[in-house]
Amino acid sequence: MEVQVNYLAVFLAMISSMVVGAIWYSKSVFGAQWQKLAKLTDKQLLEGGAKPMVITAVVSLITAFVLAHVTFLSHQFYNHGSFLQDALTTAFWLWLGLTAARIITHNVFEHRPTKLTVLAVAHEFVTLEVMALIIGLMKP
């Protein structure tokens, strides 16, 4: 079986990740709370320059590609008829089993505040579901 991936959908899903992050971590939404819980100063946030944004774009592109790939496989396996439904469901299970579980594990061992963990896990849920929405609507 050849896995079919819509590369435009992958690119748009990557962009959506950047948009969700920009909104989520804006000072007027959760940014101020996140910054306080993470104990980061404004100066520290600016120190990295463009590097964090470039890294985020690259890993978001990888995430979108993997999500599109696994969604195609899930859709072929379950054959529900709705690629969108399979995309959203696949994103949920990948988020729960891989993303949320790993963030929680690391944050517990690093003694990070529970509220910080909830912010990160919720952000990843929204990000993956928006990516899945784009991938699901655009189909391979």
Query: Does 120 fall in a domain?
Result: yes
pLDDT(91) > 80: yes
Query: Does 111 fall in a domain?
Result: yes
Query: Does 94 fall in a domain?
Result: yes
86: containing domain: 7-138
Query: Does 2 fall in a domain?
Result: no
pLDDT tens figures, 34-60: 999 999 999 998 888 899 999 999 999
Query: Does 57 fall in a domain?
Result: yes
Residue 9 makes CB contacts below 8 A (sequence gap 6+) with: 64, 68, 134, 135, 137, 138, 139, 140
pLDDT(117) > 80: yes
Q: Which two tokens stand for residue 53?
A: 């944004």
Query: Does 1 fall in a domain?
Result: no
What pLDDT shows up at residue 9?
98
Overall number of domains in the chain = 1
What pLDDT shows up at residue 49?
83
Query: Does 101 fall in a domain?
Result: yes
> pTM for the whole thing?
0.94
Report the pLDDT averaged over residues 67-94: 94
